[in-house]
Amino acid sequence: MMSEPATSAAGAAIGWKMIGGLAGVLGAGAAVSAIVVMLMTPPRSPREWAVGLISTVMGSIAGGAAVIQHYSLQAWMESFTGLLAVLGIAFSCGLPAWALVRWIFTYIQNRQGKDILEVAQEAKQII
């Protein structure tokens, strides 16, 4: 038996309030960010896909929350336009996470077989 649309919409609104509007917006931003990044730079392996997905989602959620907190943008949550702006912030924060993780793993992969002292010496020269 199907529920009526009004009942479903009310249930969705209550659920949204229970998880918190900000959490939902940050989660949506994280998901969209992860999809865009994965389409632009396809992962080379299933392991890289998993790591990329996790880092992009965490970059969106944690980075978005940090930016919102740093700039005191919590008041934006009171309007639909503000929620969309916060979604954009979360989306933007997730994009660099995938690139950073990929660069770090490529750096590590290119140095397999070297001991920690060789890697530290190379890092010291770079810095």
Q: What's residue 22's pLDDT?
A: 58
Q: How many residues does the chain have?
A: 127
| pLDDT above 90 as % of the chain | 6
Residue 103 inside a domain? The answer is yes
- The predicted-structure confidence for 36-85, as pLDDT tens digits, reads as follows 776 777 777 888 888 888 888 888 889 888 999 999 998 988 888 888 88
What is the domain count for the chain? 1
With contact defined as beta carbons under 8 Å apart, do 83 and 25 qualify?
yes
- Does some domain include residue 102? yes
* Those residues with Cβ within 8 angstroms of residue 56's Cβ, 6 or more apart along the chain or in another chain: 30, 33, 34, 37, 38, 94, 95, 97, 98
Model confidence at 20, pLDDT cuts 50, 70, 90, reads low
Is the separation of the CB atoms in 42 and 98 below 8 Å?
Answer: no
Higher pLDDT, 40 or 114: 114
Judge whether 87 lies within some domain.
Answer: yes
Distance CA 100, CA 78 (A): 33
Mean per-residue pLDDT of the chain:
78
What whole-number distance in Å separates Cα of residue 77 and Cα of residue 86? 8
| 93 located within any domain | yes
Can you give the residue range of the structural domain that contains 34? 17-126
Residue 9 domain flag: no
Model confidence at 24: pLDDT above 70 = no
Residue 26 lies in a domain: yes
2 within domain boundaries: no
4 in a structural domain: no
